């Protein structure tokens, strides 16, 4: 099937395989490959530059530089990578691992999980879940845009059940496509939320929710 195109005067405009929108690069299959590759390139370039001056700065300064030029890129639009195959997530995780080794000054042969924990850095998968859950909490408490608040709601059973006071959310019917449907906020948000302990869901402030959520994600 020929690719669609537009003809405006003497100009022929062909479709692009990807497009940037609000800082994220979307490809035609929504697999975020171009977005992830772009993040990895820019983050790795920043790591190399920080590495060149690592011997001249202390650990605190190194951590600040990594947060400013590496972590900020990994966290940008990171809710979009939720549910992607491990082959895509691994690319981002390797960048975070490299940044952690740079800050902690440890060799590649040393196991990275204890280092991430000592730095209080959540792994990439959990960072994506954290972003979605924080957005969900804000939506439930009228701290998010209305179009986001409109797609999440508390579960209200017809009869008075024990589950009615657990602050669970209504889960939409299971999507027909796992790769696309289960990544959508309307499905991912209630699915992740309902798996949180009640103590986390019942947090009364954003700061307490963030603290409890991060502790919970570190422990699972």
How far is the C-alpha of 133 from the C-alpha of 122, rounded, in Å?
Answer: 14
SS3 137: helix
pTM score, whole prediction:
0.86
Which are the contacts of 128, defined by CB distance < 8 A and separation ≥ 6? 78, 79, 81, 82
54-95 per-position pLDDT tens digit: 999 999 999 999 999 999 999 999 999 999 999 999 999 999
How far is the C-alpha of 165 from the C-alpha of 206, rounded, in Å?
Answer: 20
Contact 102, 47 (CB under 8 A): yes
CB-neighbour burial class of residue 213 (10 A; exposed 0-12, middle 13-18, buried 19+): buried
Question: Predicted confidence band at 10 (pLDDT cuts at 50, 70, 90)?
Answer: confident
Question: Predicted confidence band at 158 (pLDDT cuts at 50, 70, 90)?
Answer: low
Note the helical H segments in 67-177.
72-75, 86-104, 113-118, 124-140, 146-149
How far is the C-alpha of 218 from the C-alpha of 215, rounded, in Å?
Answer: 5
Question: Rounded mean pLDDT of 146-156?
Answer: 90
Structure-token match 């080794």, residue found: 101
The CA distances from residue 27 to 21, 95, 177, in Å, are: 11, 22, 18
């Amino acid at each position: 099937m020929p690719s669609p195109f537009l003809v405006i005067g003497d100009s022929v405009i062909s479709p692009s395989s990807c497009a940037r929108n609000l800082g994220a690069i979307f490809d035609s299959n929504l697999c975020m490959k171009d977005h992830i590759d772009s993040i990895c390139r820019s983050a790795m370039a920043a790591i190399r530059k920080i590495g060149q001056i690592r011997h001249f700065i202390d650990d605190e300064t190194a951590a600040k530089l990594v947060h400013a030029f590496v972590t900020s890129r990994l966290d940008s639009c990171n809710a979009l990578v939720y549910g992607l195959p491990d082959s895509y997530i691994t690319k981002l995780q390797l960048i975070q691992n490299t940044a952690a080794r740079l800050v902690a000054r440890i060799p590649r042969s040393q196991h990275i999980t204890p280092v991430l924990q000592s730095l209080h850095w959540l792994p990439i998968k959990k960072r994506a879940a954290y972003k979605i859950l924080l957005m969900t909490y804000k939506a439930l408490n009228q701290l998010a845009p209305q179009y986001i608040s409109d797609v999440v709601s508390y579960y209200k059973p017809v009869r008075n059940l024990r589950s009615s006071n657990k602050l669970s959310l209504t889960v939409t019917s299971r999507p027909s496509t796992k790769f696309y449907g289960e990544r959508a906020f309307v499905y991912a948000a209630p699915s992740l939320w309902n798996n949180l302990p009640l103590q986390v869901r019942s947090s009364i402030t954003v700061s307490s929710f963030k603290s409890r959520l991060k502790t919970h994600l570190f422990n699972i």
